[in-house]
Structures are given as structure tokens and as C-alpha cells.
Amino acid sequence: MVDLRDKAVVITGGARGLGAAAARAVVDGGGRVLITDVLEAEGAATAAALGGAARFLRHDVTSEDDWTAALEYAAAEFGRLDGLVNNAGIATGRFLEHESVEHFRRVVEVNLVGTFIGIKAAVPLLRANGGGSIVNISSAAGLTGLALTAGYGASKWGVRGLSKIGAVELAESRIRVNSVHPGMTLTPMTAPVGIRAGEGNYPGTPLGRVGAPEEIAAAVAFLLSDSAAYMTGAELAVDGGWTAGLTVQHLAADARLTERRGVR
């Protein structure tokens, strides 16, 4: 548990999955949280389950007006803003040549443009508070090339770069900007892929398993806290070692494939 006492945080896409886990981590750390999402019923239920320290507001991250309303609401409810977690996002699962331009644009609009608008909108409140922390949720797909993620991967690379630009430009205002890069994590967004929790169920990752939302949330909470006061512009991979390199299982599979092809 990280000390987040007296801190007020806005978390987008907080109705479920990683966002809901991050909201729980903020409340468990003693902070207050505004959960925003387009999923109204689930968002309201998540906030209610967290008790009096949590609020919910419907919020489309691609809308500048919605961002203004969300941050005004947070300021009115909490009297301050200490942190922002740009977590809202959507995924893709098609090869680049089969991805439609319309869907590609939609994914980039939500994942990258939504993050840009959020950073821009939050700066005045954070600056008025003497600084704060912005945590942008990128992905392991924002650290390396990953098939079947044309729009998603491109947008998450963009979030990674935008975070570094924000870190450089906003440091003078004591606003820290970092990105978190989750690996495969069991959430409602990834559940359709058919992944399973538990040891040995994801051998392509060095730790051999998928992540839990709470494990990503712990990294987010740390970056929101004063314990990370000297961290800005960092990219924090929470991916079970997936982006570190090939596993023994990968190497063995590659060797078998090479042998079948008759390559020496």
C-alpha cells in the first residue's frame, strides 16, 4: 500500500479492469478518486463499492467539453487535483492490411488524442496545486512491435512519446509525467483472447503467467505518490519480463521450426 493521503486523483476508464484496480489502490492509500468512463452503470457501481472517497462521472475522453466538465467536477468535490491517470483505451485485433482506416482513427482518437486532451486540460489545476503526477497507461505494445495491434500499438507508442514530451515541458511546474506499460493482463478487454490466470498459463512471458490488474495498479499508485517524486519521463514496464527478451520456450520453438525447415 502506497501513501496517498490527502491526494485527489482522476482516473479515466475507471469503471472496470485496470482503471478500477487503480481507483481501489488510490482509496486504499488514503486518497480520493473521481472515476470517469462511458460505462455508466459499471462506473457508478465501482465508485459506490469504494465508498465515500470515490465519485463517478460519465466522460468521453475524446471530448474537450467532457474533460472540462470532469476536471471542474473534481475540483468542486475535492477542492484540488493532485493526479491524473489516463487509462481509458480501446484495443484492436486485426492485421494491419485488414484494419479499416475508420477503426484505426477511432483507436488513436481514444487512446492517444484522449490522453493529449487530458494532459492539456489538467495542467492548470495541477499547476495551481503546486504540481502533481500524471500517469499515462501505455502498453508493452508501446515498447516493441506486436502483431495484430495496428491502431492500438501505434497509439500506445504515441502515449509513450507524449509522456516524455510532457515530462520535459511540465517539469518546471513540478508536474511529473510517466508512462506505465502493462503486459498481458487479465481484464474485461483481454478476456475475449482466451487467456487464463495462474502459473504456467502464459509461457511466452519469462514469469510464465499473465498479470493481475492489482499488480499494474500498484505501479500506478507508486507513480502518483510522493515516493516517486524524482521520477518523470520514465517508462515503467509491468509485463512479467515480456519486453526483456525471448524466453527459453520461444527459443525452443524457434529451434524446432528451424529444424523442420532444414536450416542449419
Amino acid at site 131: G
Amino acid at site 178: N
**Pair 84, 35: CB distance under 8 Å:** no
Q: Read out DSSP for 31-99?
A: -EEEEEES-HHHHHHHHHHHGGGEEEEE--TT-HHHHHHHHHHHHHHHS---EEEE-------S-GGG-
Average pLDDT of span 67-93: 95
Average pLDDT of span 242-250: 79
Give residue 227's pLDDT band: very low, low, confident or very high (50, 70, 90).
Answer: very high
The structure's pTM equals 0.91
Average pLDDT of the chain to the nearest whole number: 92
Percent of the chain with pLDDT over 70: 90
Say which residue the cell 507508486 belongs to: 222
Give residue 60's pLDDT band: very low, low, confident or very high (50, 70, 90).
Answer: very high
Q: Is the pLDDT of residue 264 over 50?
A: no
Helix axes 150-170, 114-128, angle to 10 degrees: 20
pLDDT tens for each residue of 9-36: 999 999 999 999 999 999 999 999 999 9
Cell numbers that stand for 218 in this block = 500498484
Task: Provide the annotated active-site residues.
Answer: 152
CB neighbour list of residue 181: distance below 8 Å, 6 or more residues apart: 138, 139, 140, 142, 143, 156, 160, 235, 236, 237, 238, 239, 243
The whole-number pLDDT of residue 38 equals 98
| Other beta carbons within 10 Å of 39 | 17
Q: How far apart are CA 205 and CA 207, in angstroms?
A: 5
pLDDT tens for each residue of 165-208: 999 999 999 999 999 999 888 777 776 666 767 776 677 788 88
